[in-house]
Amino acid sequence: MLQRHVGKYQHAVSVRPQQVVGNLTVEVSISERTGIDYVHVLPLRTSRLLTNTLRGDAEVPPSTRVEKGSHCAWVVFTPTPKEQAAFSSSGVLGDFVVQYDVAMPDVAGDVQIYDGYFVHYFAPRGLPPVQKNVVFVIDISGSMHGTKMKQTKKAMHIILSDLHPDDCFNIVTFSDAVHVWKAGRSIPATAHNVRSAKDYVHRMEADG
């Protein structure tokens, strides 16, 4: 049973054939008794560290088709050998991720009953975002050298973009010593401060 997280359900299929194949097809079928509100396909996820927020400039994997009805949806991913080779010399290496949410017109939510047990789902709608005070603690020791640091920087870039102007944040890095980006205080997530934080993250190096 899928868990609803941050207002959406998500299903990920690992697609790692380790080679370009002649006929690659991934099918995802969705059926919801209460109805389906929307269905989105995310860019192929190559790292577990990346967040799952769909952006306006995000690219849906090539040769992806989505058919949505009121209560059912069908998603098919059929990349050609040429499209697979464009990902890497080993073909597609990532998770094919489908996000969707159910239609819940009433506040009562939904109740599912199975084998004498029930689960009551409810999610209040229209609530304003909660102001957050976030401190990012990042390991920059030598063990983070290479791919780990690249993935961390990429994830931080996305996470910082998700902050709201009313949020406050700071960054703490550690290796053989601890360094606080803005000593003694968190700062508002204004556009200027977020850009400065991204520049700071971009300059991080794994050592110590």
Residues 57, 58, 63, 64, CA torsion sign: negative
- Angle at which helix 147-161 crosses helix 191-202, to 10 degrees, equals 180
Q: Is 149 exposed, middle or buried (0-12, 13-18, 19+ CB in 10 A)?
A: middle
Amino acid in position 49? L
- Name the residue with higher pLDDT: 115 or 78: 78
Query: pTM higher than 0.75, yes or no?
Result: no
Q: What percent of the chain has pLDDT over 70?
A: 86
Whether residue 180 sits in one domain with residue 147: yes
Between CA 102 and CA 4 the distance in angstroms is 10
Which among 121, 153, 182 is the end of a domain?
Answer: 121
How many structural domains are present in the chain?
A: 2
Domain match, 137 and 102 both: no
- Mean pLDDT to the nearest integer, 108-130: 75
Domain of 180: which CATH number?
3.40.50.410
- Rounded average pLDDT over 135-149: 93
Averaged pLDDT score across all residues of the chain? 86
What average pLDDT does range 148-169 have in this prediction? 93
User: Each residue of 29-82: pLDDT tens digit?
Assistant: 999 887 899 899 998 888 654 444 444 445 789 999 999 999 999 999 999 999
Please check whether residue 109 lies inside any domain of the structure: yes
Same domain, 38 and 72: yes
* Cβ(186)–Cβ(145) below 8 Å: no
Q: What is the mean pLDDT of residues 147-172?
A: 93
Identity of residue 146: G
User: Buried (b) or exposed (e) across 64-83, using 16+ Cβ within 10 A?
Assistant: bebeeeeeebebebebeeeb
In a domain, 42, yes or no: yes
The domain of 141 spans 133-202
Q: What is the pLDDT of residue 126?
A: 72
Task: Tell me, yes or no, whether 185 lies in a domain.
Answer: yes
User: Within a domain: residue 126?
Assistant: no
Q: Among 121, 154, 171, identify where a domain stops.
A: 121
Buried/exposed 32-56: b ≥16 CB within 10 Å, e otherwise? beeebeebbbbbbbeeebbebeeee
The model's pLDDT over 49-62, given as tens digits with 9 standing for 90+, comes to: 444 444 444 578 99
pLDDT given at position 117: 86
Does residue 107 register a pLDDT over 80? no
Task: Judge if 13 and 85 occupy the same domain.
Answer: yes
Structural domain includes residue 167 = yes
- Domain boundary, last residue among 86, 121, 156: 121
- The answer to whether residue 127 is domain-embedded is no
